Amino acid sequence: MSSKVVFTVGDPASDHSLILRHPEAPNDAVCCCCSILSVSSSSSSHTFKGGAVEEAGGEGAMGSNNHGNSKEFLELIKSIGESRSKAEEDCIVLREIETLKRRINDADTPKRKIKEYIIRLLYVEMLGHDASFGYIHAVKMTHHDSLLLKRTGYLALTLFLSDDHDLIILIVNTIQKDLASDNYLVVCAALNAVCRLINEETIPAVLPRVVELLHHSKDAVRKKAVMALHRFYLKSPSSVSHLLSNFRKRLFDNDPGVMGASLCPLSNIVSDDVNSFKDLVVSFVNILKQVAEHRLPKTYDYHQMPAPFIQIKLLKILALLGSGDKQASGHMYTVLGDIIRRSDSMTNIGNAVLYQCICCVASIYPNPKLLEAAADVIAKFLKSDSHNLKYMGIDALGRLIKLSPHIAEQHQLAVIDCLEDPDDSLKRKTFELLYKMTKSSNVEVIVDRMIDYMISMSDDHYKTYIASRCVELAEQFAPSNYWFIQTMNKVFEHAGDLVNIKVAHNLMRLIAEGFGEDDDAADSQLRSSAVESYLRIIGEPKLPSVFLQVICWVLGEYGTVDGKYSASYISGKLCDIAEAYSNDENVKANAISALMKIYAFEVAAGRKVDILSECQSLIEELLASHSSDLQQRAYELQAFIGLDVQAVETIMPRDASCEDIEVDKNLSFLNGYVQQSLERGAESYIPEDVRAGMGNMKNFRSQDHHETLQHGLRFEAYEVPKPPMQPKVTPVSFASSADIVPVPDVLSSRETHHISSVGSTSEVGSSELKLRLDGVQKKWGKPTYSSSTSSASASYSTSQKPTSGATLVDGATTVNSKVHDTYDSRKTQVEITPEKQKLAASLFGGSTKPEKRSSTSHKVSKSSASAADGSRGSKAAVVPNEVAVEKAIHQPPPADLLDLDEPTVTTAPPSVDPFKELEGLLDPSTNSATNHNVAAATNAPDIMSLYAETTVSGGDSIPVSGGYDVNLLSELSNAATKATREETIVKPLPQSIKGPDAKDSLEKDALVRQMGVKPSSQNPNLFSDLLG
Partner 1 sequence: MILQFFVLSQRGDNIVYRDYRGEAQKGSAETFFRKVKFWKEDAEGDAPPVFNIDGVNYFHVKVAGLLFVATTRVNVSPSLVLELLQRIARVIKDYLGVLNEDSFRKNFVLVYELLDEVIDFGYVQTTSTEDLKSYVFNEPIVIDAARMPPLGPASIFMQGTKRMPGTAITKSVVANEPGGRKRDEIFVDVIEKISVTFNSSGFILTSEIDGTIQMKSYLTGNPEIRLALNEDLSIGTSDYRGSGAVILDDCNFHESVHLDSFDVDRTLSLVPPEGEFPVMNYRMTQPFKPPFRINALIEETGSLKAEVTIKVRAEFNSSINANTVLVQMPLPSFTSRVTFELEPGAVGHTTDFKEANKRLEWGLKKVVGGSEHTLRAKLTFSQELHGNIMKEAGPVSMTFTVPMYNASRLQVKYLQIAKKSKAHNPYRWVRYVTQANSYVARL
Contacting positions for partner 1 (CB under 8 A) = 27, 31, 34, 57-60, 62-63, 66-67, 74, 77, 80-81, 119, 122-123, 126-128, 151-152, 155, 158-159, 162-163, 188, 192, 195-196, 220, 227, 231, 264, 301-304, 349
Name the minimum Å distance from CB 74 to partner 1. 7
| Nearer CB in complex with partner 1: 222/231 | 231
| Nearer CB in complex with partner 1: 264/678 | 264
Whole-angstrom Cα distance, residue 909 to residue 322? 86
Could you give the residue ranges of the DSSP H alpha helices within 457-480? 460-477
The H or E element that residue 301 is part of is strand 301-302
Q: Identify residue 776 by its one-letter amino acid code.
A: V
The H or E element that residue 305 is part of is strand 305-306
Whole-angstrom Cα distance, residue 111 to residue 153? 12
Q: Are 332 and 364 in contact (CB under 8 A)?
A: yes
| Nearer CB in complex with partner 1: 126/720 | 126
Whole-angstrom Cα distance, residue 319 to residue 134? 51
| Nearer CB in complex with partner 1: 125/917 | 125
| Nearer CB in complex with partner 1: 31/755 | 31
Largest CA distance in the chain: 159
Name the minimum Å distance from CB 308 to partner 1. 10
Q: Exposed, middle or buried, 642 (CB in 10 Å: 0-12/13-18/19+)? A: exposed
Name the minimum Å distance from CB 536 to partner 1. 46
Name the minimum Å distance from CB 51 to partner 1. 17
* Secondary structure of 847-900 in HEC code, one letter for each residue: HHHHHHHHHHHHHHHHHHHHHCCHHHHHHHHHHHHHHHHHCCCCCHHHHHHHHH
Name the minimum Å distance from CB 42 to partner 1. 13
Q: Which residues of 395-408 are buried (b: 16+ CB within 10 A; e: fewer)?
A: bbbbbbbebeeebb
| Nearer CB in complex with partner 1: 191/495 | 191
Long-range contacts of 350-356 (CB under 8 A, 24+ apart): 350/303, 350/305, 350/308, 351/381, 351/389, 351/392, 352/308, 352/312, 353/305, 353/308, 353/311, 353/312, 353/315, 355/381, 355/392, 355/395, 355/396, 356/311, 356/312, 356/315, 356/316
| Nearer CB in complex with partner 1: 311/632 | 311
| Nearer CB in complex with partner 1: 77/1027 | 77
| Nearer CB in complex with partner 1: 163/532 | 163
Name the minimum Å distance from CB 576 to partner 1. 49
Name the minimum Å distance from CB 635 to partner 1. 54
Name the minimum Å distance from CB 208 to partner 1. 22
Residues forming beta bridges with residue 364, ordered by sequence position:
323
| Nearer CB in complex with partner 1: 32/1007 | 32
| Nearer CB in complex with partner 1: 100/591 | 100
Name the minimum Å distance from CB 192 to partner 1. 6
Cα 971 to Cα 515, 749, 774, 938: the distances in Å are 63, 19, 10, 26
Name the minimum Å distance from CB 152 to partner 1. 7
Q: Identify residue 831 by its one-letter amino acid code.
A: E
Helix, strand, coil percent content, the chain, rounded in steps of 5: 80, 0, 20
Name the minimum Å distance from CB 193 to partner 1. 10
**Nearest residue to 248 via CA among 234, 263, 237:** 263
| Nearer CB in complex with partner 1: 67/369 | 67
Residues 6+ positions from 990 with CB-CB distance below 8 Å: 667, 934, 935, 938
Whole-angstrom Cα distance, residue 516 to residue 504? 18
| Nearer CB in complex with partner 1: 62/670 | 62
Q: Identify residue 100 by its one-letter amino acid code.
A: L
Whole-angstrom Cα distance, residue 695 to residue 525? 65
Name the minimum Å distance from CB 180 to partner 1. 20
Name the minimum Å distance from CB 150 to partner 1. 13
Q: Are 592 and 637 in contact (CB under 8 A)?
A: yes
